[in-house]
């Protein structure tokens, strides 16, 4: 991602195009483990939702794990991450304890947002994990704001902003891209392009189907299309974009092609009306965890036994997270008035205002 003219609209990440990126074995294994943890975590979350332990919205991420792992693992601790509502796995990959993510899903005090946010609002300031945003596209301008703050404070940290493919047809996307490009802000935008916004196929609504091409409208914005089912291809693209943001203060846009196995949310678990069983099955054949597993076994980084042991370990970790969430208290009712404004609103006791 050296210059915009070299990088606009490139497509990378084809099979055989990427080696192990020169990463050491611990890092390669860490990425696999995070993806496996994300998958097992979501399986448990689905079970807890179906048995009524989790209420409200719940959007599962299964199938997209390579995007979170490929984008977030190359970041430094002082970098920022901001994302949409399909956020459990991003939070975990960023380092939020799965116990705190599960407790948040259960709406309990030990959740990373104190049980007040639920599935769509994971947040952890100590990890610069800035949410978890439910309104489609709303956090993309916030990423521009984070980038502006970093530039203003002359820090060399960067902001990674993940969002879904529905976002690219909305105003906030273009406003944020314009400002980020014009002010030369260190933001890496990644579209998790799973082809669907709820039940709508992107091809039915996008006037420019090749999403990476949209960056052409903005000077200074590099763009690239990658196979988001391939964690190493994704990481390579994001590493280039991070370098560009950190060293040159320039933004990039990566269109990561991926697929969600489950429905849009738990309200639409089968997703049977707008896509065929065959389509889902075809993408499951390209499973990001199994593909990466094979790659690491072929390269001699892990054995099949290592993989199985890792799987047992993450299943156990997820079970413990669910036990932790079950035992955590529900927030005190009076606390619903807390965290609404930074402080008291014009000196009014909000409890009085609501009486």
Ligand X SMILES: Cc1ncc(C[n+]2csc(CCOP(=O)(O)OP(=O)(O)O)c2C)c(N)n1
User: Least distance in Å: CB of 23 to ligand X?
Assistant: 27
Which residues make beta-bridge pairs with 223?
A: 253
Q: Which two tokens stand for residue 40?
A: 């097992």
Q: Considering only residues 167, 241, 254, 289, which one is a binding residue for ligand X as defined by CB under 6 A?
A: 167
Q: Which two tokens stand for residue 187?
A: 């933001």
Which partner, ligand X, Mg ion, none, binds residue 134 by CB below 5 to 8 Å per kind?
Answer: ligand X
Q: If you count them, how many residues does the chain have?
A: 355
In the region spanning residues 201 to 240, those forming contacts with ligand X, defined by CB under 6 A, are none
By CB under 6 A, tell whether 194 contacts ligand X: yes
CB closer to ligand X, 262 vs 325: 262
Which partner, Mg ion, ligand X, none, binds residue 20 by CB below 5 to 8 Å per kind?
Answer: none
Q: What is the dihedral of CA 277, 280, 286, 287, to 10 degrees?
A: -110
User: Least distance in Å: CB of 61 to ligand X?
Assistant: 8
Q: Which two tokens stand for residue 79?
A: 């970098």
Residue 329 CA neighbour count, 13 Å, CB half? 5
By CB under 6 A, tell whether 196 contacts ligand X: yes
Q: Compose the 153-192 pattern: x for residues touching Mg ion by CB under 5 A, - for all others.
A: -----------xx---------------------------
CB closer to Mg ion, 85 vs 196: 196
Q: Considering only residues 128, 166, 169, 239, which one is a binding residue for ligand X as defined by CB under 6 A?
A: 166
Are 333 and 351 a contacting pair, CB within 8 Å? no
SS3 content of the chain, % helix, strand, coil (to 5): 50, 10, 40
User: Least distance in Å: CB of 83 to Mg ion?
Assistant: 13
CB closer to Mg ion, 194 vs 265: 194
CB closer to Mg ion, 198 vs 310: 198
Which partner, ligand X, Mg ion, none, binds residue 117 by CB below 5 to 8 Å per kind?
Answer: none
Q: Considering only residues 12, 40, 133, 264, which one is a binding residue for ligand X as defined by CB under 6 A?
A: 264
Residue 254, φ and ψ in degrees, nearest 5: -115, 125
In the region spanning residues 105 to 164, those forming contacts with Mg ion, defined by CB under 5 A, are 164
Q: For residues 254-272, b (16+ Cβ closer than 10 Å) or e, as one string?
A: bbbbbbbbbbbbbeeeebe
Sheet strands (E) in the chain? 10-11, 80-82, 159-164, 187-193, 196-197, 200-201, 222-227, 252-257
CB closer to ligand X, 99 vs 139: 139
CB closer to ligand X, 244 vs 264: 264
By CB under 6 A, tell whether 297 contacts ligand X: no
3-class DSSP assignment, residue 227: strand
Q: Considering only residues 134, 280, 297, 301, which one is a binding residue for ligand X as defined by CB under 6 A?
A: 134
User: Least distance in Å: CB of 242 to Mg ion?
Assistant: 23
Q: Considering only residues 194, 239, 265, 328, which one is a binding residue for Mg ion as defined by CB under 5 A?
A: 194
Per CB under 6 A, which region of 130-138, 224-232, 247-255, 327-335 contacts ligand X? 130-138
Q: Which two tokens stand for residue 86?
A: 């399909």
Instruction: Report DSSP letters for 95-164, one per residue.
Output: T--HHHHHHHHTT-TTSTTTTSS-TT---BGGGTB-----STTTHHHHHHHHHHHHHHTT----EEEEEE
CB closer to ligand X, 87 vs 104: 87
User: Least distance in Å: CB of 105 to Mg ion?
Assistant: 21
Instruction: Report DSSP letters for 287-316, one per residue.
Output: -HHHHHHHHHHHTTSS-HHHHHHHHHHHHH
Give the interface with Mg ion as residue ranges (CB under 5 A): 164-165, 194, 196
Give the interface with ligand X as residue ranges (CB under 6 A): 86, 134-136, 164-167, 192, 194, 196-198, 264
């Amino acid at each position: 991602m050296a210059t915009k003219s070299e990088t606009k609209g490139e497509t990378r990440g084809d099979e055989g195009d990427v080696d192990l990126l020169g990463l050491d074995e611990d890092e390669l294994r860490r990425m696999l483990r995070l993806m496996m943890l994300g998958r097992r975590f979501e399986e448990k979350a689905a079970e807890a939702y179906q048995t009524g332990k989790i209420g409200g919205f719940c959007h599962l991420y299964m199938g997209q794990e390579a995007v979170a792992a490929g984008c977030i693992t190359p970041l430094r601790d002082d970098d920022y991450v901001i994302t949409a509502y399909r956020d459990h796995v991003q939070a975990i990959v960023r380092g939020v304890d799965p116990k705190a993510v599960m407790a948040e899903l259960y709406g309990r005090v030990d959740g990373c947002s104190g049980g007040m946010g639920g599935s769509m609002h994971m947040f952890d300031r100590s990890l610069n994990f800035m949410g978890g945003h439910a309104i489609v596209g709303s956090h993309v301008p916030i990423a521009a704001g984070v980038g502006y703050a970093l530039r203003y404070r002359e820090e060399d940290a960067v902001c990674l902003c993940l969002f879904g493919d529905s976002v690219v047809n909305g105003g906030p996307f273009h406003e944020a891209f314009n400002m980020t490009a014009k002010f030369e802000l260190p933001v890496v935008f990644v579209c998790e392009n799973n082809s669907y916004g709820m039940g709508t196929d992107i091809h039915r609504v996008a006037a420019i189907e090749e999403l990476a091409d949209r960056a052409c409208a903005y000077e200074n914005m590099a763009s690239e299309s990658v196979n988001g089912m391939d964690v190493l291809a994704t990481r390579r693209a994001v590493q280039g974009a991070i370098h560009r943001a950190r060293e040159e203060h320039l933004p990039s846009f990566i269109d990561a092609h991926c697929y969600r196995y489950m429905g849009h949310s738990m309200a639409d678990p089968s997703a049977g009306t707008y896509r065929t069983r065959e389509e889902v099955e075809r993408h499951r054949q390209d499973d990001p965890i199994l593909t990466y597993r094979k790659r690491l076994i072929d390269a001699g980084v892990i054995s099949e036994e290592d993989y199985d042991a890792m799987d047992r370990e993450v299943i156990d970790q997820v079970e413990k997270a669910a036990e932790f969430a079950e035992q955590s208290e529900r927030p005190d009712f009076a606390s619903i008035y807390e965290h609404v404004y930074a402080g008291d609103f014009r000196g009014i006791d909000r409890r009085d205002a609501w009486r």
